[in-house]
């Protein structure tokens, strides 16, 4: 159960990464409804404090570079890879307990084509109809979380930092780490789908050399400067403070393990490129203003995960009818002998 919860948490993070940030100039009026920030006084009573104003929040939203490129900027090769990954994730779910359901089964190819067509159709639907709504939801969640957690002074500190050369390099650094984490999670999901295991339990391919302990430690130190990893740590801390079982929210170690083994060379390259900047990045991440921003990011992603469920259901084969249709078609196809081209007498495969 704990690993399942961790997988769900990582899924929330992935969805947030996939919702492309909409960089835009400040609006004449806020595009969201802000809740006033409250602070508990020494007497235990909530009191108003000077919160980040709508203009500051709009500017902070425009600065965020947490996610990979938007789907509408992808190349044909990117689209083909996304559709192929969708097929790989779903095809084994037609008969998950059947060890003989693989590429050697004569039904594999017709079902692969069907799933590929539906994956392409759902991808187009996501881009045209769902993605803009998800973008709005994430933007609103982050805006309100900023309003709850950032003071006016916090926002000014953040905006001043992001306007500097080192601040812009910090955002680029974060974006590079996000892509690495996203890619490693995608690879783990594909291997998990193929092996029938949970993403966090999939070891590195045997063809990959096992990195030395000092190399793993160095790569982990870089990943611990990722805000996406830090907000996952925040989730675990929140679960511990609530008195519940926090082990299920230990998502950060899972992500770091996958990234250090599957994307090690990319991490090493980033470390080399940003070597001179790392002390400044570390100092900024330790600042009270940035800690409050990470707190805001953590809450925003959790809020988005809840609010976006109605939209994400439209894309989930388990809920939108695609999986039921695929399984019905799969059961209707009797195994065919590759040698003779005739239908075998064994009848439909087991459910």
What residue ranges do the domains of the chain occupy? 53-332
Residues 223, 228, 232, 235, Cα dihedral to 10°: 150
Q: Confidence class of residue 193 from pLDDT cuts 50, 70 and 90?
A: low
Q: Confidence class of residue 210 from pLDDT cuts 50, 70 and 90?
A: confident
Structure-model confidence comparison of residues 308 and 65, the more confident one: 308
Average pLDDT over residues 19-23: 37
pLDDT for 8 beyond 50: no
pLDDT confidence of residue 260: 87
Structure-model confidence comparison of residues 67 and 103, the more confident one: 103
pLDDT for 337 beyond 50: no
Q: 70-108: b or e for each residue (b if 16 or more CB lie within 10 Å)?
A: ebeebeeeeeeeebebbbbbbbbbbbeeeeebeeebebb
Q: Give the C-alpha distances (Å, rounded to integers) separating 106 from 139, 243, 333, 349.
A: 46, 52, 9, 12
Contact 194, 208 (CB under 8 A): no
pLDDT for 196 beyond 60: no
**Which of 85-94, 98-107, 208-217 bottoms out in mean pLDDT, i.e. has the lowest?**
208-217
pLDDT confidence of residue 25: 32
Pick from 190, 184, 189, 175: which is nearest to 255 by CA? 184
pLDDT confidence of residue 110: 96
Average pLDDT over residues 210-230: 90
Average pLDDT over residues 291-308: 91
φ, ψ of residue 38 in degrees (nearest 5): -120, 150
Task: List, in sequence order, the alpha helices (H) in the chain.
Answer: 2-18, 54-63, 76-90, 108-125, 131-149, 152-162, 165-195, 213-223, 227-241, 251-262, 264-273, 278-285, 288-307, 309-312, 317-320, 322-332
| Strand 46-48 versus strand 38-40 pairing type | antiparallel
3-state secondary structure (DSSP) of residue 40: strand
pLDDT for 57 beyond 90: yes
Residue whose tokens read 């996610």: 67
Contact 178, 226 (CB under 8 A): yes
**Cα gap 73→78, rounded to integer Å:** 9
Q: Confidence class of residue 131 from pLDDT cuts 50, 70 and 90?
A: confident
CA atoms within 13 A on the CB side of 253: 8
pLDDT confidence of residue 160: 96
Contact 143, 152 (CB under 8 A): no
Q: Confidence class of residue 195 from pLDDT cuts 50, 70 and 90?
A: low
**Cα gap 108→111, rounded to integer Å:** 5
Q: Confidence class of residue 63 from pLDDT cuts 50, 70 and 90?
A: confident
**Cα gap 236→244, rounded to integer Å:** 10
pLDDT for 33 beyond 60: no
Contact 326, 90 (CB under 8 A): yes
Q: How far apart are the first and last CA of the chain?
A: 24
Average pLDDT over residues 20-35: 37
pLDDT confidence of residue 208: 61
Residue whose tokens read 């789908």: 193
Average pLDDT over residues 271-294: 96
Q: What is the pTM of this model?
A: 0.71
Query: How much is the mean pLDDT over the chain?
Result: 78
Q: Confidence class of residue 192 from pLDDT cuts 50, 70 and 90?
A: low
Pick from 249, 348, 273: which is nearest to 10 by CA? 249
Contact 338, 106 (CB under 8 A): yes
pLDDT for 335 beyond 50: yes
Which DSSP category does 101 fall into? -
Structure-model confidence comparison of residues 254 and 6, the more confident one: 254
Q: Confidence class of residue 247 from pLDDT cuts 50, 70 and 90?
A: low
**Cα gap 269→166, rounded to integer Å:** 18
């Amino acid at each position: 159960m704990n690993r399942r919860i961790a997988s769900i948490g990582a899924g929330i993070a992935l969805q947030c990464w996939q919702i492309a940030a909409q960089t835009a100039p400040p609006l004449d009026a806020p595009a969201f409804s802000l809740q006033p920030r409250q602070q508990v006084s020494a007497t235990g009573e909530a009191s108003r404090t000077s919160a980040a104003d709508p203009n500051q929040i709009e500017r902070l939203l425009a600065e965020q570079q947490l996610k990979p490129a938007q789907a509408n900027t992808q190349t044909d090769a990117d689209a083909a890879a996304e559709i192929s990954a969708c097929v790989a994730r779903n095809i084994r779910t037609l008969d998950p307990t059947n060890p003989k359901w693989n590429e050697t089964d004569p039904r594999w190819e017709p079902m692969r084509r069907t799933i590929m067509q539906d994956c392409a159709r759902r991808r187009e639907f996501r881009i045209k109809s769902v993605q803009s709504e998800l973008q709005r939801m994430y933007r609103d969640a982050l805006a309100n979380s900023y309003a709850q957690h950032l003071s006016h002074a916090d926002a000014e500190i953040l905006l001043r930092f992001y306007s500097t050369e080192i601040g812009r390099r910090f955002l680029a650094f974060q974006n590079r780490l996000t892509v690495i984490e996203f890619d490693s999670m995608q690879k783990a999901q594909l291997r998990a789908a193929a092996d029938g295991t949970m993403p966090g339990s999939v070891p590195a391919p045997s063809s990959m050399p096992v990195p030395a302990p000092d190399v793993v430690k160095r790569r982990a130190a870089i990943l611990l400067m990722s805000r996406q990893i830090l907000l996952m740590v925040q989730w675990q801390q929140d679960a511990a403070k609530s008195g519940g079982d926090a082990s299920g929210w230990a998502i950060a170690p899972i992500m770091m393990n996958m990234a250090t083994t599957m994307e090690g060379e990319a991490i090493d390259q980033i470390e080399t490129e940003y070597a001179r900047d790392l002390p400044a990045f570390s100092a900024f991440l330790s600042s009270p203003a940035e800690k409050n921003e990470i707190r805001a990011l953590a809450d925003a992603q959790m809020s988005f995960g809840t609010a976006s469920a109605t939209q994400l259901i439209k894309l989930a084969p388990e809920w939108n009818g695609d999986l039921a249709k695929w399984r019905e078609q799969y059961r209707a196809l009797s195994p065919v002998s590759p040698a003779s081209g005739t239908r075998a007498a064994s009848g439909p495969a087991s459910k």
